[in-house]
Amino acid sequence: MDSKIIRQTEKFVQSKLQGESSGHDWWHVYRVWKNSVYIAEEENADLLVTQLAALLHDIADWKFHGGNENIGLHVAREWLEKLNVEKDIISHIIEIIKDISFKGAGVKTPMKTIEGMIVQDADRLDAIGAIGIGRAFAYGGYKGREMYNPDIKPVMHESFKQYKNNKGPTINHFYEKLLLLKDLMNTETAREIAENRHKFMEQFLDRFLEEWEEHDNIEK
């Protein structure tokens, strides 16, 4: 029964997010799902809750629905009720989806259960490393943001509202969020994976800024 629910949910999410171009597409969900399973097996967590939360965590992201933080919760709950998933499992999954997102450097988003910690870790792992770099620029382009502007400095947002309304360049996003994620991992398994991905981002930024500053040496 559990495997049937997972398969149906996989197809449902894929039908909703296939071909999305901002970096929050089906393949993002797929990677989060597979990493969640890997971490859950290492951490002895409930696989049904972990997989359903991973598959549904971005089903209706607030970033694409006018900042509405509740629409994803509504869509996920409606879908799980349609599959006759037990009420306590639905409540657990909804709580995970509600608390999963990064909401600013100064905003704490703790998870109450190991399943929530795992899905949050898997989502954050997909935001760093080579894939994270690609996703950052895909989202920046989707939102019409500058790639980099040395006159606009990163901001350590102290509230979700401030973070949500941020329109800074993509490079700033690395300092405002992505470079912070390594130290926010919940599980030892995720922390180990995050180390190399974090180092790669640092190397990328060093090279990016080195190439950018080459222009300053060109005589006018």
- What is the reported pLDDT for 66? 47
Q: What distances in angstroms separate CA 122 from CA 65, 78, 166, one per listed residue?
A: 23, 24, 24
pTM: 0.89
- State the chain's mean pLDDT as an integer: 88
Cβ contacts of 82 within 8 Å, gap of 6 or more: none
Residue 39 in contact with residue 118, Cβ under 8 Å?
Answer: yes
Burial of 4 (0-12, 13-18, 19+ CB in 10 A): exposed
Is the four-CA dihedral 73, 76, 81, 85 of positive or negative sign?
Answer: negative
Structural domain spans, the chain = 2-217
Fold of 2-217: Hypothetical protein af1432 (1.10.3210)
Residue 73 in contact with residue 98, Cβ under 8 Å?
Answer: yes
Q: How far apart are CA 163 and CA 159, in angstroms?
A: 6
How confident is the model over 168-215, as pLDDT tens digits?
899 999 999 999 999 999 999 999 999 999 999 999 999 999 999 876
Residue 216 banded pLDDT, cuts 50, 70, 90: low
* End-to-end CA separation in angstroms for the chain: 70
Q: How far apart are CA 12 and CA 103, in angstroms?
A: 27
Is the four-CA dihedral 149, 142, 10, 80 of positive or negative sign?
Answer: positive
Structure tokens at 211: 């190439």
- What is the reported pLDDT for 23? 73
Residue 53 in contact with residue 80, Cβ under 8 Å?
Answer: no
- What is the reported pLDDT for 142? 86
Residue with tokens 């640092």: 202
Q: Where are the beta strands (DSSP E) in the chain?
A: none
In the Cβ-directed half-sphere of 142, how many Cα atoms lie within 13 Å?
14
